[in-house]
Structure 1
Amino acid sequence: MNSVLITGANRSIGLETVKQISKKGLFVYLGSRDLEKGKTAVKELNEQGFENIQAIEIDVTSHDSILAAKQVIEREQGKLDILINNAGILGANPQQASNTPIENIREIFDTNFFGVINVTQVFLELLKKSKSPRISNITSGLASLTLHNIPDWKYYGIKTAGYGTSKAALNAYTIALAHELKELSFKVNVIDPGYTATDFNHHSGPLTVESAASFIVKHTLTDENAPTGKFFSNDIEDETEESPW
């Protein structure tokens, strides 16, 4: 049975992604910074009939926590097939480029950018033991530099000095990683689940968590002919579902 680790998975899009991947018959590690919250989420999922899910403590801003999670998965599975870097924070708003405290921006980057790099680098050893490893980095439409320069883009007025820039940096890192691993069987992509109604944005988004998770699953559980190094967005009305960088 293939195994999946999803960070930040005890609520919202991450939790729904756990549900949908579990239904596909994979073993899912539900990553949570607070292990008790993760265990509570798993208990509720089990009561709803979902199986093959285990809570695992992982704080993406703590190297020791990441190493401990890796040791658990290595001991129990011997490998990891899929890594979904879902954990992220929005940060305090507003985020004006001219006056947002550097400490606030650094805090956002610690989770959204450096946290993803740390988790990915630690788990690469286990992913390389899989026959078809997948890395999906969850990004945002606000990471597209191209769209941010199109005045009639529907989100043109939303500029965030911390959140959007951290996701743009994540996109750039993903391109570099996908290129490095392109001769192996890896598929490494960034996936924007779209502007989804969650606690993250006070439920202001027009999309549902079911739609967001379905989009993530679609572009993660792919075959050997799938592309790598791409930016897929649930907000793009195009058959390729690719966003401009």
Structure 2
Amino acid sequence: MTKNIAIITGANKGIGIEIARGLGKRGLTVLVGARSAERGETAAATLRDEGLDAHFLHLDVTDETIVAAAAKQVEEQYGKLDVLVNNAAIALADGDWNTSELTVATARKVFETNVLGVVAVTNAFLPLIRKSDAGRIVNVSSEIGSLSFMTDPSKPFYTQQCGAYGASKSALNMLTVSWSKELEPTGIKINAVTPGFTATDLNGNQGTRRPVDAAAVAVDMALIGDDGPNGGFFHKGVEYLDSPVVPW
């Protein structure tokens, strides 16, 4: 039988490589999506050294030509895709993160990766996901993109301005809901997850959670059964969130 195939974008380090590791341990063939061939190959080799079936996939989510080439490669090599985890993201700001200091150039760059990149990758790979017996898409979002969370004075980060990064995650959440409505009749399930405040290069390693713990929710949602949720927002073990379902 053909093994299930998973792609994780931004998988050469941090939460991304931990998601790849988690899915690999569950028996999936994992394609380590990365812009840099050197870093991607190194990450895939690390996972192979651990006994996992891992391979580098050149994937720059901001380059539609590269995305199309990656989709063609996966089609030729595997003929389908079972799991897509949209993990690649950046967090940029101007000045002291004051929204009044945010430049259009910075906002555009953030949205190119965090929103438009997800649109490009998801729609390019959807034909292959439709060929899966149980296609799953996981969008790695953030509670910073939750309007309910960020307007609750009792929650951490309430006083923070989240700028283009937060706005991009709010947009990603809405796209998740939108895709879920279209895909509902097909059996493909798409959900958003938040890893919580995790120590990665994205935040200068200032987070309080470990990447391995933050990755667990994405692994779980990538492997949900036919009775699993569709179009939801979830976390696992984030202490300041009240239930497994994150408010929009």
Same fold at TM > 0.5? yes
Structure 2 unmatched ranges of 5 or more: none
Distance 1:201 1:238, change over 3 A: closer
Aligned to 2:87: 86
1:114 matches 2:116: yes
Displacement of 1:237: 6.0
1:171 matches 2:169: no
Distance 1:239 1:217, change over 3 A: farther
Aligned to 1:150: 152
Give the aligned residue type for 1:181. L
Q: Deviations over 1:121-166 (max 9, x none)?
A: 1111000001100010000110000111111211112222110000
Query: Equivalents in 2 of 1:145, 1:43: separation in Å?
Result: 40
- Normalising by structure 1, we get a TM-score of 0.96
1:242 matches 2:245: yes
Of 92-101 and 223-232, deviating more is 92-101
Give the aligned residue type for 1:184. T
Aligned to 1:223: 225
Distance 1:153 1:34, change over 3 A: same
Query: Equivalents in 2 of 1:210, 1:37: separation in Å?
Result: 19
Displacement of 1:233: 2.4
Judge conservation of contact 1:19–1:50 (CA < 8 Å) in 2: no
Runs of 4 or more off by more than 3 Å in structure 1? 236-240
Distance 1:125 1:149, change over 3 A: same
Instruction: Name the SS of the counterpart of 1:54 in structure 2.
Output: strand
Q: Deviations over 1:5-26 (max 9, x none)?
A: 0000000000111111111110
Judge conservation of contact 2:9–2:85 (CA < 8 Å) in 1: yes
Query: Equivalents in 1 of 2:240, 2:112: separation in Å?
Result: 32
Query: Equivalents in 2 of 1:81, 1:150: separation in Å?
Result: 37
Query: Equivalents in 1 of 2:52, 2:154: separation in Å?
Result: 45
Q: Deviations over 1:101-127 (max 9, x none)?
A: 111001000000000001011111000
Query: Equivalents in 2 of 1:30, 1:83: separation in Å?
Result: 11
Instruction: Name the SS of the counterpart of 1:226 in structure 2.
Output: coil
Aligned to 1:59: 60
Judge conservation of contact 2:93–2:102 (CA < 8 Å) in 1: no
Aligned to 1:125: 127
Distance 1:147 1:237, change over 3 A: closer
Structure 1 unmatched ranges of 5 or more: none
Give the aligned residue type for 2:29. F
Query: Equivalents in 1 of 2:158, 2:218: separation in Å?
Result: 24
Aligned to 1:201: 203
Q: Across the two proteins, how many residue pairs are aligned to each other?
A: 244
Judge conservation of contact 2:192–2:232 (CA < 8 Å) in 1: yes
Over the matched positions of the two proteins, sequence identity in percent amounts to: 36
1:13-24 matches, cutoff 5 A: 13-24=15-26
Judge conservation of contact 2:5–2:82 (CA < 8 Å) in 1: yes
Q: Deviations over 1:212-243 (max 9, x none)?
A: 11121112210000010001124266785101
Judge conservation of contact 1:198–1:204 (CA < 8 Å) in 2: yes
- Normalising by structure 2, we get a TM-score of 0.95
